[in-house]
């Protein structure tokens, strides 16, 4: 095997010997730089990425799992007060299988495997409790398989059977869902969870099931979707109004300042109370009452009465007062009665105020300062106020700001670190491959340049023909001692056969430098 590469090694050695000292230093420097760069890239590894192995562990399970990781020499990190363990991301699946084979963690959700091992002396109460625990565990496992659900907990309340139906307490259930980041359950998914639980538990009705998320938002309560995806019907209607209004305003503003140069956000506050007002108004609008009917009765009485004459009082009763004679008195009386019936105007009104009245409206507009003149901001404000129907007396407001925009989107900002890690990893691998190749290419270029700089082989044959000219005369003038020795002449001007190699010429120059110099002078004189 080595013999096959011997000619190449010999050729490489000849090329190296033919290089100048500067080129040798350059090649060695490039090689050392390449080796140092590759070693540095190999030593500087990217930071190890960790992923959660288990979370929500008890203290006993966490201690047992850490002990196993230490025995296997696996690096780990603790978080959430020691209840969560993270390991290198490429070892998560393997470690979970290995720990599961050892029965870890032990405090996980248990299902009907509680009844795999029977024990003597178990009471009926313990059996019922174990059955309830197994049913809760199986339901939690099933719900955790749904899209968007990370984990689930199910709590059942199964009362004892009563002899009387009217005294029987209903079975109830509570489900706590931990959703995956960025996930949201739809109304159909929430109904599916409720009907799954109610169908799996005997005597459980959907109206007796409560579903909440990890934030405490009610997803199902009282037999209906209370807040699908954590959002009530009123809130969804408000979001739909805000989105539609923002879209309309965005279209209008974009026609003025151009696309991608404006952002519009709308915030609305609604009154969801429903009111009913009944009113009965008499003589509305200041109308005077009208006479409907009128009745008048007059009674007159006339007559004569007999009696004493005089002025009634104290003076007529004293002794010194002169009494008059009795006489006749004329009397007349009149009685008048009048009855008037008026027709009163009446207005009966019933007003039912539907919920969803706008209480307050706020609009925020952001303009790109790189493409929009600040003087346009006031015009945009008036345009938006008119299009949105802003009522200042109601507390509505419009804010327009002119600020520089960034070219990065929200998705790019989130994906930026991950993208940068991938770019750095690709650059590291590329450098490990390209640096040695560039070093080899540079060395090959230097060797090729040195090879082309060597004199061609036919030159030695031409030298044998032109030597008897001026070179021979010079040699004769110098005497026999100045001529070429036989060894040097045979080496520099072989009569036949292949030309001497560079190594042979170098050895000859070391042994007899004067002769070699004489031959070179002869070549220069001939040229």
pLDDT score for 500? 62
The CA distance from 511 to 520, in Å, is 16
| Other residues' Cβ atoms within 10 Å of the Cβ of residue 232 | 16
Note the pLDDT tens digit of each residue in 370-385: 888 888 889 999 999 9
Burial of 160 (0-12, 13-18, 19+ CB in 10 A): exposed
Burial of 376 (0-12, 13-18, 19+ CB in 10 A): middle
Q: Where in the chain is the domain with CATH 3.30.300.30?
A: 111-222, 241-271+354-401
Per CATH, domain 241-271+354-401 is 3.30.300.30:
yes
Which long-range CB contacts under 8 A does 277-280 form with residues at least 24 apart?
277/349, 277/350, 277/351, 277/352, 277/353, 278/348, 278/349, 278/350, 278/351, 279/347, 279/348, 279/349, 279/350, 279/351, 280/346, 280/347, 280/348, 280/349
Q: Where in the chain is the domain with CATH 3.30.70?
A: 48-100
Q: What percent of the chain has pLDDT over 90?
A: 16
**Per-position b or e across 124-157, b if 16+ CB within 10 A of its CB:** eeeeeeeeebbbbbbbbbbbeebeebebbbbebe
Note the pLDDT tens digit of each residue in 145-196: 888 888 889 999 988 888 887 788 889 999 999 888 778 888 888 889 999 9
pLDDT score for 385? 93
The CA distance from 231 to 233, in Å, is 7
Query: 395 versus 437: which is more confidently predicted?
Result: 395
SS3 126: helix
Whether a cis peptide bond, with omega within 30° of 0, leads into 442 is no
Segment 285-300 mean pLDDT: 77
The CA distance from 475 to 485, in Å, is 12
Instruction: Give the residue from 127, 134, 12 showing the smallest Cα distance to 443.
Output: 12
Per CATH, domain 111-222 is 3.40.50.300:
no
SS3 372: coil
Q: Which two tokens stand for residue 385?
A: 């106020």
**The overall pTM is greater than 0.85:** no
DSSP 483: S
DSSP track, 386-409: HHHT--GGGT-EEEEEEEPPPS--
Note the pLDDT tens digit of each residue in 195-225: 999 999 988 998 899 999 888 888 887 666 5
The CA distance from 75 to 70, in Å, is 8
Per CATH, domain 48-100 is 3.30.70:
yes
């Amino acid at each position: 095997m080595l013999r096959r590469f011997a000619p190449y090694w010999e050729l490489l050695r000849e090329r190296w010997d033919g290089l100048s000292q500067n080129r040798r230093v350059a090649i060695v420097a490039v090689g050392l730089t390449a080796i140092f760069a590759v070693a540095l890239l190999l030593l500087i590894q990217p930071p190890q990425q960790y992923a959660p192995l288990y979370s929500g562990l008890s203290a006993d399970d966490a201690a047992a799992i850490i002990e196993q990781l230490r025995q296997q020499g696996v690096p780990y990190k603790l978080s959430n007060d020691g209840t969560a363990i993270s390991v290198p991301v490429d070892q998560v699946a393997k470690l979970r299988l290995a720990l599961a084979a050892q029965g870890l963690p032990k405090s996980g959700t248990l299902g009907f495997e509680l009844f795999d091992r029977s024990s003597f002396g178990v009471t009926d109460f313990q059996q019922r409790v174990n059955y309830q625990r197994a049913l809760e565990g199986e339901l939690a496992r099933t719900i955790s398989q749904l899209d968007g659900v990370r984990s689930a907990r199910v709590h059942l309340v199964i009362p004892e059977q009563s002899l009387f139906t009217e005294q029987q307490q209903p079975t109830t259930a509570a489900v706590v869902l931990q959703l995956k980041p960025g996930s949201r359950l739809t109304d159909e998914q929430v109904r599916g969870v409720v009907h799954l639980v109610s169908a799996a538990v005997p005597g459980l009705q959907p109206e007796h099931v409560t579903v909440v998320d990890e934030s405490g938002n009610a997803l199902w309560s009282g037999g209906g979707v209370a807040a699908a995806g954590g959002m009530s019907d009123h809130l969804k209607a408000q979001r739909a109004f805000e989105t539609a209004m923002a879209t309309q305003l965005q279209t209008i503003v974009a026609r003025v300042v151009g696309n991608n140069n404006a952002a519009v956000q709308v915030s609305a506050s609604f009154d969801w109370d429903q009111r009913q007002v009944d009113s009965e108004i008499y003589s509305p609008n200041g109308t005077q009452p009208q006479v409907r009917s009128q009745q008048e009765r007059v009674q007159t009485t006339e007559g004569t009465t007999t009696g004493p004459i005089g002025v009634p009082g104290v003076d007529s009763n004293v002794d010194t007062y002169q009494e008059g004679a009795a006489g006749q008195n004329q009397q007349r009386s009149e009685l008048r009665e009048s009855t008037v019936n008026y027709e009163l105007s009446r207005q009966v009104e019933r007003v039912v105020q539907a919920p969803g009245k706008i209480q307050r409206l706020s609009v925020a507009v952001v303009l790109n300062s790189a493409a929009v003149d600040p003087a346009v901001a006031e015009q945009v404000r008036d345009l938006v106020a008119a299009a949105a129907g802003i009522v200042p007396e109601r507390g509505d407001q419009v804010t327009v700001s002119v600020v520089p925009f960034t070219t990065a989107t929200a998705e790019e900002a989130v994906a930026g670190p991950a993208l940068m890690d991938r770019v750095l990893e690709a650059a590291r691998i590329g450098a490990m491959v390209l640096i040695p190749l560039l070093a080899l290419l540079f060395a090959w270029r230097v060797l090729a340049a040195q090879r082309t700089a060597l004199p061609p082989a036919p030159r030695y044959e031409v030298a044998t023909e032109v030597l008897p000219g001026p070179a021979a005369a010079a040699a004769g003038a110098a005497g026999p001692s100045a001529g070429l020795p036989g060894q040097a002449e045979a080496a520099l001007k072989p009569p036949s056969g292949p030309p001497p190699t560079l190594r042979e010429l170098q050895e000859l120059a070391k042994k007899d430098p004067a002769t070699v110099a004489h031959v070179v002078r002869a070549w220069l004189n001939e040229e």
